[in-house]
Amino acid sequence: MFRTTDGWISQFKERGALWLHDGNSKRPHALLTSGMHSDGFFNSELVMEDSIFLNNACSYLVELLQQDNLDLSSVDRVVGPAMGAITLANDISRNLGLRRSRSCLRAYVEKEMDGNKKIMVFKKTLIRSKERILIVEDVLTTGGSVELTAAAITKAGGTVLPFVAVLVNRSNLTEVGGRKIIALINRPMPMWTPKKCPLCKKGSEAIRPKGTKNWNRLNTSY
């Protein structure tokens, strides 16, 4: 198991799950689904698909939570936003339960529109009133999904614990809504509008990171 951010970054890169721009203007950069440009990209599915590797990552995340004085016995359930954090919530809850020799439940929230406002709601899963909930997220970019998840938990009668467990924190934040971020990888990956993108100004092309052809273009030697 890896014990440093650099170790996890190396392993995520080996799986093609994490890409970071090296500053070379000839190298393309990431065009995100939102339309924003970035010097980094994380594809959590390439971590989630490897059950043994994911188990090691979740085990270490639980260890980090313990080191930060989270009382594992206080966690009744682990909740993450769909789709990216469903598998993560399951594995975190399993690892947490094994460490304390008592089951920990899991659930997830899904996006829904309330008029013109985006919210998170429990649709296919539920929580019980007064349950103490640990929120998890695969990648934390702005903290918005975590805030919406916390609001859904509170509305359902749960209590949100003061930690957020994350695989990759690209936000440069240390907390969201007063909840401390505990992450395997803390690596800021700025995002810019196309007009303000410094990589575009240097001549780098923005391309979608997914897909073999584009992925090879991002990672080839220049």
pLDDT digit string, tens, across residues 163-210: 999 999 999 999 999 999 999 999 999 999 999 999 999 999 999 998
How is domain 5-219 classified at the architecture level of CATH?
3-Layer(aba) Sandwich (3.40)
Does residue 2 surpass a pLDDT of 80? no
Q: Which residue stretches of the chain are H helix?
A: 5-14, 45-48, 51-67, 86-100, 144-155, 198-201, 212-219
Torsion, Cα 209 213 219 222, to 10 degrees, reads -120
pLDDT digit string, tens, across residues 59-87: 999 999 999 999 999 999 999 999 989 99
pTM over 0.95: no
- Determine the pLDDT at residue 210: 85
Spatial CA neighbour of 166 closest among 2, 44, 71: 44
- What residues contact residue 128 under an 8 Å CB cut-off, 6+ apart? 76, 157, 158
- Determine the pLDDT at residue 1: 65
Spatial CA neighbour of 106 closest among 84, 129, 135, 146: 135
Could you give the 3-state DSSP secondary structure of residue 33? coil
